[in-house]
Structure 1
Amino acid sequence: MKLSVLLVSLAAVFLVLLFMQFTQVKNTEIEEKQFKNFSSQDDFREYASKSGHYLAYIPFSLVGDTPIFAVLPSIAPAPSATGSEEKSLDIGRFSQTNVQVQGIDEPDIVKTDGKNIYISRTGIYTYGIKIPPYPYLRKTTVVKAFPPEELKKIGELNASGGILIHGDKILILGGNVIRAFSIGDLRERYRIELNGTVVTARLYDGRVFLILSQRSEICPIIPMNVNGMGYIVDCSRIYHPIKPVPIEVIYTVVKLDPVSGRVEDSISFVGNYASVVYMSRNAIYVAYPLPVDYVGIMLNFSSENRDLFPSWFIQRLQKLQNYELSEKAKHAEILALFERLTLGMSTEERILFQNEFRNRLERYFEMHARDIERTAIWKISLEMKIVANGEFPGRLLNQFSMDEYGGYLRVATTVGSTNAVYVLDSRLKIVGSLEGFGKMERIYAVRFIAERGYVVTFRETDPFFVIDLSNPESPRMSGELKIPGFSSYLHPLGEKLILGIGKEGSSVKLSLFDVSDPKNPVEVDRYILNEFWSEVISNHRAFLVDEKHGVFFIPASHGYIFSYRDGLKLIKVTETGFRAVYIEDYFYVIGSRIVVFDEKSWEKVAELEL
């Protein structure tokens, strides 16, 4: 085996496992204040040069002499919403987008205001055009939806993306532009051009909260231009952790008046692409995995395994730990140390070392997972102030992994080869924990509802855990159920039922759990769809429930409407369907056409080609 390949192989085992952990922490004690603002451009540049950047790819070789490349995975966030919130205006009830927190709207590609339906679409337009390149179509179709007998298209907007509606304004959030239109005449009222992308957005209490990200090697930054005017963020308004972290992007949280487009306030901070965002009625939480202290972990590991490493190797790591080098430079030094270490080994010695190294390192991670694998979290008030910061072990799945209730933040994490739930107080200090469940599995779904948490882990079976959070300082396991397959999205249906949407084998699976007895959760019904995938598995906004009529909608290659009051019953299927809404007692399935059903009889009453 060539030395270069062996080096890649050895270093890769170390680096891949470290990157899988995504973290670093030597001390479990959290400093009272871990963030500060930059004082100047020079301060920004100095911090960036010391912190370095994450590597986008890690070279490693597991078999033979062929190096391969592994892309780093993304970590890809009061009772949660029990369904699609409905509003009561003059025209009566109508559905809202299925969101995590009731009353806090999230952008989606289909919205209704009870009168119209707004459908945002993108795609390649090829009809009638024989020679490429084909134009890329971006539009939002406006359909008069109520009453159903007047169903018709009434206009189009030359924009597409996530939609938010406030009053008489419709906001469309594209990749790098936000456009606002008047609902009455469909004219554009203002435009916000972004020097980056929209990570996510929320609409709450008459204000839009935008979370933006952009790459920048200098400050001040200009995250956006409103009607051609640049919004400048000075260096002193950009925050960073005191402990250096690799700067991949600068995040800016913006509080926006949706009527005028005026920026009321903002706050910016550095971070990486793996952030998870959750918003409650009181605060915005931004969490991200902490970087790895490669030298520190390798030094601790080699010190615990002195029979594997010569003294000069450990001494060199000790010196390297004190050098003021970027993470990239430290990576290079570690690779050089491995090259020197293996240079004089015979083939047999290299093979022995490689196997021992890998197995011992895996055991080391298992023993030290809670110290190695950690996530940092920022708490930002709705007045755009950083009010607290903290850390907790493990990594988050998505926004549903966080939930604020009764002044506490509950988080569900995967820590090494096990899982945990931590309870943090208002200062983001850990006050309670439940650790070590779902061994050799990782979290696939989470839902916190009042004083309970529901967690699904998966490897071969689907453990469904019910967690008692009534005592924030002492969370405990109430019950557990093991069934085939897994759920990726959990949705409460009333107080006693939880719907799980996921997969079993190669098919989409719906599970209905009775959680009236938290000590004994029961799968009371299940339904296997002849579908490989549903968007709900990865996007909760695609789901819709109408509690008045006891039905819900699931999109796949077809549109499916189920009733759930007496078990799971499929009552309607449409040829296409990626979203659904309801207005009064009419259920609208949106696909290549809109199909309208009367919910009292489930007869089709209208149809419109899009």
Structure 2
Amino acid sequence: MLNSNHLKVTAAALSLALLSACGSGSDGNSAGQGPGNGGVQTPPDKVPDLSTGEASAKKLRKASAEDFATYLKNGVYLSQHRTSDVADGSEAGTSPTSGEPPAFSTTNVQESAVDESDRIKYDGDYLYIANTTDFQAAEGEHQQSVRILKRGEAGELTPLSSLIASRGYYSKQRLYLKEDNLAVVLSNEGGIFGIEPAIDGVFSTTVVPEPVAQDFTLARVDIQDPAQSNITHQLRFDGELVDSRVIGDSLYLVSEFTARFDGFEQQGEDLNLTNYQKILATDISELLPKVTDIKTGTQKLMVDPATCYVPEQASELNGYHQITSVTRVSLSDPDSLTSTCIANRTRGIYMSQKNLYLYGYYYDPEDVTFEDTTQTVMHQFSLTENAATYSASGRVAGRLGSGNTNLRFSEHNDLLRVVTSRFTEVNGMVHKLYILEKQGDNLALLSQLPNDTRPTPIGKVSDNGLVEEDIYAVRFFGDKAYIVTFRQIDPLYVLDLSERNDPKITGALEIPGYSAYLHPVSDTLLVGIGQNVQDWFIDPVAQSDDQIGAKVSLFDVSNIGAPTLLQEKVFPGGYSPVEFDYHAFSYIKHSEEVFRMTLPIESWLTQDESDNSVTWYRRSELAAFEVHSGETPKLQYMGSSVIEPQSDSELQGYVWSGDDRSVIHDDHIYYVHGNFVWSSLWQTPQNTTGPF
């Protein structure tokens, strides 16, 4: 058995965001002397004093196949006493551009030209919907399918075909559309295995069971003729999908893989040495993730251990057993793929047109305190036509919170901006903006806010002298940043980032409720989507019911020193999925001064019955708005497409609004609710036809 120090270090490693990189060629099988082991060594006569690798934000070094094999095997050996180890996974919308307004809306994304996966894709002629139903009881098998609908000349929708993308079980199905190629990415939501230091220094553990399989699938569909669409490639990757992006023809899949070894002995003498000898004698290829061609059954390694990287300070006594892979797949030729592997866990990604950033968290497990000493570790990979190449690392104090964490990052004029949060006993919540620049192999800190010169905190100071507000939304737009904090009231902060060495808070606006998603319409107008809660959490009877619910707000930010609220619309008893998934938000520039947008709203309302009882009922709707940006800016509510109760068994029951989507095409609105579509016209969204 491992001694207590080893167990402590092993457990602490789960909280580290150590990232180290490795690259692979297309065959993924180069392994140096011997099959991936760098040659055969004499079995050791004792177990060395092993420890997990330490989190590093410094340059990585290329390791030989032997070095990498030792590093990974040491990590697998150190991890053998854990029963579960599951990694947790989990500026939106393109900026307004000049020129001819587009005819239809597409997926709302963070960065222009960097596509993100979603459950629907639309090209102006065909609508592709990833069905949410994943189990066909009549057939007794799992089934993932994609519906294809054709748009007619008059705007009508006609169901065309249904494509079975997979018969395996996956909880999530997302799409990419590129010319004649439809990519279907099927994955499971990762479980969470958390180890946190308690006050007494003893580790407390929380385990959420992992998915049934540690894999995800990519299906490439030829849609040159959507009526005769067919799957040309099906690839199954070992590991759990963290996230993905598409730039041009390149699909980037970021995934995690936990190396496991089933050959450890459970009984016998000197188990430590026996098991260490067994793992060292294991071929490294048995511990690496693989990619399987489902159609042919052929299999190859995802990564090449001969070209892997380890932390610069790593020695033969260090190790870690988890790998994060960045795999680039050509959408036009999925057989052409390259991978870059990262040793250890990744919490999420942010991608610009130039670079991919992987981020994770690190804290010193020996530093047991009420203070949050977490640091966010970031690793930058430059993007080329055929690969992602490691280039620099950095870290900042704090963590990224929850919900749309990628929106806390922004790359602008070769600078990386990031907003983090942490708790301190002296100041309460400390929210900070950092501006970093790549200098050699480091992401060097140029400036931060607050600072000694500008100490005003981000977040309102309570009567007790502490900042108790959390960050609910962050949005970067050019040289500005907008931050919303909330506890009882919503301060909207405007930050001027035009001077890289001197960022500053220029203005703030306090209004009831909060915005969880911010969408810049222009340099002068900002849309906020969130909740109008006022003092409801403190005094439920202080406000009438019609003041509590989903809220859409329009802000005037033309004067960065004094932002103002122009108009707002409240949906009583409702919320919008846009709060936690900005893909549910559709947006299009209709003319030079008019912008159109739609968003789903789910409301729980009451109806008084004749016997004086009250009945609760649910209302699902797609709200349509126009933003006018002329001399007198305004927010105009056009109405809502409402889903009426359906008699069809497939349409009955609760349908989660979190998967609701919409498309705006000229004067037509298409509302995707569940697996079906409803249609209406822009001027009369309440007149709905469907389902299709």
TM-score by length of 1: 0.73
What is the Cα deviation at residue 215 of structure 1?
1.7
Correspondent of 1:288 among 360, 364, 384: 360
Where does residue 120 of structure 2 map in the other structure?
110
In structure 2, runs of 5+ residues without a counterpart are 1-11, 19-54, 167-172, 188-215, 262-283, 424-428, 451-456, 460-466, 534-547, 602-619, 644-656
Provide, for residues 471-491 of structure 1, a one-character-per-residue CA deviation record: whole Å limited to 9, x for no partner: 111111111112222211111
Counterpart CA distance in 1 for 2:234 and 2:136 is: 29
What is the Cα deviation at residue 196 of structure 1?
2.0
Matched, 1:526 2:568: yes
Provide, for residues 400-420 of structure 1, a one-character-per-residue CA deviation record: whole Å limited to 9, x for no partner: 111100010000110222100
Counterpart CA distance in 2 for 1:85 and 1:56 is: 48
Instruction: State the SS of the aligned residue for 2:73.
Output: helix
What pairs up with 1:41-56 in 2 under 5 angstroms? 41-47=69-75
1:284 partner letter: L
1:569 partner letter: Q
Residues 1:83 and 1:579: Cα distance change in structure 2 (over 3 Å) = farther
Counterpart CA distance in 1 for 2:621 and 2:162 is: 25
Counterpart CA distance in 1 for 2:244 and 2:634 is: 36
8 Å contact kept, 1:104–1:281: yes
Counterpart CA distance in 2 for 1:252 and 1:42 is: 19
Where does residue 375 of structure 2 map in the other structure?
374
Matched, 1:545 2:587: yes
Query: Which stretch has the larger CA shift, 145-154 or 238-247?
Result: 238-247
What pairs up with 1:101-500 in 2 under 5 angstroms? 101-123=111-133, 136-148=142-154, 150-159=156-165, 161-175=173-187, 176-183=216-223, 184=225, 185-217=228-260, 219-220=284-285, 221-226=288-293, 227=295, 228-232=297-301, 233-242=303-312, 247=320, 249-272=322-345, 275-290=347-362, 292-295=363-366, 297-298=367-368, 361-362=369-370, 365=371, 372-383=373-384, 384-397=388-401, 398-416=405-423, 417-427=429-439, 428-435=443-450, 436-438=457-459, 439-500=467-528
8 Å contact kept, 2:176–2:183: yes
Residues 1:96 and 1:54: Cα distance change in structure 2 (over 3 Å) = farther
What pairs up with 1:577-588 in 2 under 5 angstroms? 578-588=660-670
Instruction: State the SS of the aligned residue for 2:104.
Output: strand
Residues 1:570 and 1:544: Cα distance change in structure 2 (over 3 Å) = same
2:291 partner letter: M
What is the Cα deviation at residue 162 of structure 1?
0.8
Counterpart CA distance in 1 for 2:321 and 2:492 is: 36
Matched, 1:597 2:603: no
2:165 partner letter: A
2:153 partner letter: P
8 Å contact kept, 1:107–1:162: yes
Instruction: State the SS of the aligned residue for 1:123.
Output: coil
What is the Cα deviation at residue 22 of structure 1?
7.9
Instruction: State the SS of the aligned residue for 2:400.
Output: coil
Counterpart CA distance in 2 for 1:253 and 1:447 is: 26
8 Å contact kept, 2:73–2:321: no
Instruction: State the SS of the aligned residue for 2:74.
Output: helix
Counterpart CA distance in 1 for 2:84 and 2:550 is: 33
Counterpart CA distance in 2 for 1:431 and 1:166 is: 38
How large is the Cα RMSD of the aligned pairs? 3.5
Counterpart CA distance in 1 for 2:16 and 2:186 is: 30
Where does residue 49 of structure 2 map in the other structure?
none
Counterpart CA distance in 1 for 2:81 and 2:557 is: 45
Counterpart CA distance in 1 for 2:153 and 2:341 is: 46
Correspondent of 2:621 among 533, 538, 558: 558
What pairs up with 1:58-97 in 2 under 5 angstroms? 76=90, 81-82=93-94, 93-97=103-107
Give % identity: 23
1:257 partner letter: S
8 Å contact kept, 1:558–1:575: yes
**Aligned pairs, how many?**
496
In structure 1, runs of 5+ residues without a counterpart are 1-17, 58-71, 299-360
1:440 partner letter: E
TM-score by length of 2: 0.65
Counterpart CA distance in 2 for 1:276 and 1:121 is: 25
Provide, for residues 155-194 of structure 1, a one-character-per-residue CA deviation record: whole Å limited to 9, x for no partner: 0011271110112111111111111111112111111112
Where does residue 68 of structure 1 map in the other structure?
none
Instruction: State the SS of the aligned residue for 1:609.
Output: coil
1:33 partner letter: K
Correspondent of 1:33 among 59, 64, 73: 59
1:570 partner letter: Y
Residues 1:466 and 1:267: Cα distance change in structure 2 (over 3 Å) = same
Provide, for residues 258-317 of structure 1, a one-character-per-residue CA deviation record: whole Å limited to 9, x for no partner: 0121234220102325x1201101010011001x3222x24xxxxxxxxxxxxxxxxxxx
8 Å contact kept, 2:92–2:108: no
Provide, for residues 374-395 of structure 1, a one-character-per-residue CA deviation record: whole Å limited to 9, x for no partner: 1111001113210001111111
Residues 1:423 and 1:238: Cα distance change in structure 2 (over 3 Å) = same
Counterpart CA distance in 2 for 1:597 and 1:538 is: 26
